[in-house]
Amino acid sequence: MSRLPLLAITLGDVAGIGPEVTVRALADPRVRGLCRAAIVGNAEVVRREIKRSGLPLDVIEVEGMRPAERENAIACWSPPDIRLHNVASVPLGAVDARAGLAAYLWLVAATRAALAGQVDAVVTAPLHKVALKAAGLDYPGHTEILAEECGVRDYAMMLFVPPGRRIGGPHGLGVAHVTLHTSITSVPGLLSREKVRETILLVDSFLKQVGCAAPRIGVCALNPHAGEEGRFGDEESTLIAPAVADSRIVGVKADGPIPADALMRRAVAGEFDGVAAMYHDQGHIALKLVTFNQAVNVTLGLPIVRTSPSHGTAFDIAGQGQADPAGMVAAVETAVRLVETRRRSS
């Protein structure tokens, strides 16, 4: 039996570019040489995208999580849920509750398969948060659904740039966020010494998983100029600096709080292996400016491996053959790397 990791790849929102980047990635010889894969989604949507993309692939519908044994074939499993019966009729490029529900059900099915040991990792194509809401699902995104399914309270979303992209140090660069999908006005009230400390520890643990023995972690300030000694806010002295001190006590090489503009530049240059950002855009904007499709979304704190491309559903180019699969390829590569690291450690 092949020892190549078995990955469950969810199609995401079928109105967007998820199906396109998924089939294009699975047609890539690099991906096929790294893993075995099964799509969790709708076979008709997959066939349609293969035809539109002109790829020499067949689709084999399977029961449960198992790969296609035949070369140039993609396995596709659709969970037996009556609510998924008409998802192939969803129009491209528009919010649709059916697509939101399908993306959720496929994610839950893949996550439960990973928890049961039926697959080694989950890789997710992008979903649309408004489509989730339209389907009556009040989740901000993938991360919160995964945390709920896995039963974890301490988790974080990381943007990870794998090594070899000229970003960060020899082990790449990871940026995780203390708060995530929330309004800017709510961020200060959601921060706490414990949450900042936990994010630092999650970053440290992840970087050690990818081979960085002693990660150097920079911790962002919340306010401009790190608060300017309290003139622009005191979160640096009351929350962030104590959390950094706490992490150092347990052996983490953390430094901060450092003004975010300076820290992100230093991290991109390789001075830090990881960054703990205080909120979504503080980390995302800087990293996506320098490496949009090279960054991979990794959920920290889960008992399973989960990665995804860092881009969204891109409704504006859905079905036009313009979607770049590089992010999905990078997500698969990172998932395989994490699976292999876990295998060695166990």
**Domain CATH code at residue 290:** 3.40.718.10
* Whether residue 179 sits in one domain with residue 277: yes
* Whether residue 5 sits in one domain with residue 129: yes
Our CA angle for 41, 43, 48, nearest 5°, is 115
* Whether residue 238 sits in one domain with residue 123: no
From 281, 301, 321, the end of a domain falls on: 301
Domain containing 193 equals: 155-301
* Whether residue 52 sits in one domain with residue 30: yes
Q: Supply the pLDDT for residue 249.
A: 97
* Whether residue 286 sits in one domain with residue 188: yes
CA distance 67 to 213: 34
* Whether residue 226 sits in one domain with residue 295: yes
* Whether residue 106 sits in one domain with residue 1: yes
- Neighbouring C-beta atoms of residue 242, cutoff 10 Å: 15
Q: Average pLDDT across each block of 10 residues of the chain; the chain has 346 residues. List them in order.
A: 87 97 95 95 96 93 89 92 91 97 97 97 97 95 95 93 86 94 93 97 94 95 87 93 98 97 95 96 90 86 96 94 93 94 80
**Total residue count of the chain as it appears in this document:** 346
* Whether residue 289 sits in one domain with residue 262: yes
* Whether residue 257 sits in one domain with residue 145: no
CA distance 174 to 340: 19
Q: Supply the pLDDT for residue 346.
A: 67
Q: Supply the pLDDT for residue 86.
A: 92
* Whether residue 321 sits in one domain with residue 288: no
Q: Supply the pLDDT for residue 1.
A: 44
Closest residue by Cα to residue 12 from 39, 38, 32, 51: 39
Q: Are strands 156-161 and 296-300 parallel, antiparallel or unpaired?
A: antiparallel
List all residues 6 or more positions away from 229 whose beta carbon is below 8 Å from its beta carbon: none
Q: Supply the pLDDT for residue 31.
A: 94
Q: In Å, how far are 45, 103, 126 from 97, measured between CA atoms?
A: 16, 10, 15
Pair of tokens at residue 263: 């820290």
Q: Supply the pLDDT for residue 211.
A: 87
* Whether residue 275 sits in one domain with residue 200: yes
Q: Give the number of domains in the chain.
A: 2
CA distance 29 to 322: 20
* Whether residue 328 sits in one domain with residue 296: no
CA distance 239 to 278: 11
Q: Supply the pLDDT for residue 85.
A: 86
